[in-house]
Amino acid sequence: MRGSLTLVLTLTCGLMAGLSLLAAPAAAAEMPEIESRSWSFDGIFGHFDRAAQQRGYQVYNEVCSGCHGLRLLTYRNLAALGYGEDDIKAFAAEYEVTDGPDDEGEMYQREALPSDHFVSPFANTQAARAANNGALPPDLSLMVKARKNGANYLYALLTGYGDAPDGGELPDGLYYNAAFPGHQIAMSAPLDDDAVEYTDGTPATVDQMASDVTTFLAWAASPEMEERKRLGLKVMLFLLVLTALLAAVKRKVWSRLH
């Protein structure tokens, strides 16, 4: 009996030790504390800033689209940002898609149409890794939903590059980022001041571009957000009116009984 108890205790201790070793790397790469910012789309009355959305799309198109796709969006979805039909056709025409087969059974290249999904920067996952030293640039369609504290995290990530503290050295191909778990990221700083020239004349600082592209990606992840919130407010108003009517009916019915 004593031998069996000793065996159980030994196995339990070994298991706990193994779990602690497995948990150590995870603890080391915990999400850093991210500062919360005020976004126009926060809260039940939140809405997207159209100007910020358009600037954010410009940043994505000129800076981010070379590595990151938006496979869940079509070009005609950009109408929600205030772009006209001609603008959307022009945006789509900058890219080519594979279509077919034609009458001879061959695939061919054509200009993208507004109905096409955003063209991915790489043909496949292997090509993406080969072009980025083995790292796979994630698709950004749902990135705001895929990360905890999504919008704040993306903004912090884009503005969190700098030198490693205490002059520490990083492995080749990695960069220090205060917001990234573990603080070592394979993506170099994507934004520099004046990396784009905003068509509306807004100064293109790193902070401004990070805020704008985050707003654009928040919309990309939830393009139905404004409609959903409007519907929610209508439902709440309906429920309030219905509650008031039911209370009035109840009072009327019980007044007769008393």
pLDDT in tens, 46-59: 999 999 999 999 99
Kindly state whether residue 31 falls inside one of the protein's structural domains. no
The answer to whether residues 57 and 152 belong to one domain is yes
The answer to whether residues 136 and 166 belong to one domain is yes
Kindly state whether residue 10 falls inside one of the protein's structural domains. no
Q: What is the DSSP string of 86-132?
A: HHHHHHHHTSEEEE---TTS--EEEE--TTSBPPPSSSSHHHHHHHT
Kindly state whether residue 183 falls inside one of the protein's structural domains. yes
The answer to whether residues 134 and 253 belong to one domain is no
**What digits encode the pLDDT tens for the residues 144-201?**
999 999 999 999 999 999 998 887 788 888 999 999 999 999 999 999 999 999 999 9
pTM: 0.81
Neighbours of 128 (CB within 10 A): 21
CATH code of the domain covering residue 205: 1.10.760.10
Q: What's the pLDDT at 103?
A: 85
Kindly state whether residue 177 falls inside one of the protein's structural domains. yes
pLDDT-based confidence at 11, cuts 50/70/90? very low
**Total number of domains in the chain:** 2
Q: Report the distance separating Cα 49 and Cα 212, nearest Å.
A: 9
The boundaries of the domain holding residue 245 are: 230-258
Q: What's the pLDDT at 258?
A: 62
**What digits encode the pLDDT tens for the residues 221-242?**
999 988 888 888 889 899 999 9
pLDDT-based confidence at 102, cuts 50/70/90? confident
Burial of 87 (0-12, 13-18, 19+ CB in 10 A): middle
Q: What's the pLDDT at 254?
A: 85
Kindly state whether residue 16 falls inside one of the protein's structural domains. no
Kindly state whether residue 27 falls inside one of the protein's structural domains. no
pLDDT-based confidence at 29, cuts 50/70/90? low
